Amino acid sequence: MTGQTFKQGEKILFIIFGIFMACAVVGYILLEIYRHQLDRPMFKNRVNYVFSEEGKRGYELYSHSRCNSCHRVLGNGTNNGNDLDGIGSKRSLEWLVNFLNEPEKTYPRRTFDHGALPKEAYYVEQMPKSDLHAIAVFLSELKVEQGSSMSPLPPRGRSEFIDNMVGTWAPKDWKDKYQDVRQTEKYLKSSEEKTAK
Ligand code: HEC
């Protein structure tokens, strides 16, 4: 024997792996066929961007200031820092201006990259104030619809699905440790607006 034959257990493993691969390929092909036949996008677009003149200038500055080496915006950039798409729905323009100018004073926790040397993004707070303002305006215009994956708040109104998921997966002691974001004033208010419409 030259050791080329497979043991019984190995054969079974290969077969199981083969079945998984085949299912994945067939599933992918079926999904693509289904997607091509749809006359609307498969997922509703919940992100929209309307830029003011200053916002457009901010975008230009943003693109040339190495922000993309740590952040993601409009689908470009990296995930080293945080994703800034939708940040305009989470932070106010004032907060963004303050953060870019004085990150360490503004950020709720200790900063990792923004702040004074030797932090890597030290150069940001040294940029001209008017440039930082334009960038802040640009960021504040990156809005997302509530309930999208980038939104800080879940969809408006009661969702049975979310209730079930929380009921099933959230450990009991989380109730004491964390506040359910759906109980916060901000969320309740946003849901009222929806019912009022
Ligand atoms: C070296 C990596 C790096 C670079 C470069 C960088 N950032 Fe950041 N950024 C971070 C990290 C990490 C955080 C989280 C705060 C921290 O720990 O510093 C952050 C936080 C932020 C936040 C606050 C997000 C929030 O809501 O909490 C904004 C706004 C921001 N960056 C904008 C920018 C802009 C604009 C530029 C370019 C001019 C830039 N950043 C360049 C890494 C970076």
Report the alpha-carbon distance of residue 45 to residue 194 in Å, rounded.
19
Kindly state if the Cβ of 6 falls inside 6 Å of ligand 1.
no
Inter-CA distances, 13 with 2, 16, 20, 23, 84, Å: 21, 5, 11, 15, 43
Per-residue confidence (pLDDT) for residue 193, from 0 to 100: 65
Query: Would you tell me how many other CB atoms lie within 10 Å of the CB of residue 53?
Result: 9
Specify the length of the chain in residues: 197
Per-residue confidence (pLDDT) for residue 141, from 0 to 100: 94
- Burial class (CB within 10 angstroms; exposed 0-12, middle 13-18, buried 19+) of 106: middle
Kindly state if the Cβ of 83 falls inside 6 Å of ligand 1.
no
Residue nearest to atom 39 of ligand 1 (CA): 67
Per-residue confidence (pLDDT) for residue 51, from 0 to 100: 93
Kindly state if the Cβ of 101 falls inside 6 Å of ligand 1.
no
For a mutational test of ligand 1's pocket, the pick from 61, 63, 71, 105, i.e. the residue with the most ligand atoms closer than 8 A to its C-beta, is 71
Kindly state if the Cβ of 65 falls inside 6 Å of ligand 1.
yes
Per-residue confidence (pLDDT) for residue 4, from 0 to 100: 72
How would you write the pLDDT of the chain (197 residues) with one tens digit per residue? 555 788 899 999 999 999 999 999 999 999 999 999 998 888 776 667 889 999 999 999 999 999 999 998 887 888 776 889 889 988 999 999 999 999 999 999 999 999 999 999 999 999 999 999 999 999 999 988 887 777 778 888 888 888 898 888 888 888 888 888 888 887 888 777 655 54
- Burial class (CB within 10 angstroms; exposed 0-12, middle 13-18, buried 19+) of 65: middle
* Residues in CB range of 71: below 8 A, 6 or more apart: 77, 78, 80, 81, 82, 83, 84
For a mutational test of ligand 1's pocket, the pick from 70, 74, 122, 138, i.e. the residue with the most ligand atoms closer than 8 A to its C-beta, is 70
CA of 53 to the centre of ligand 1 (A): 23
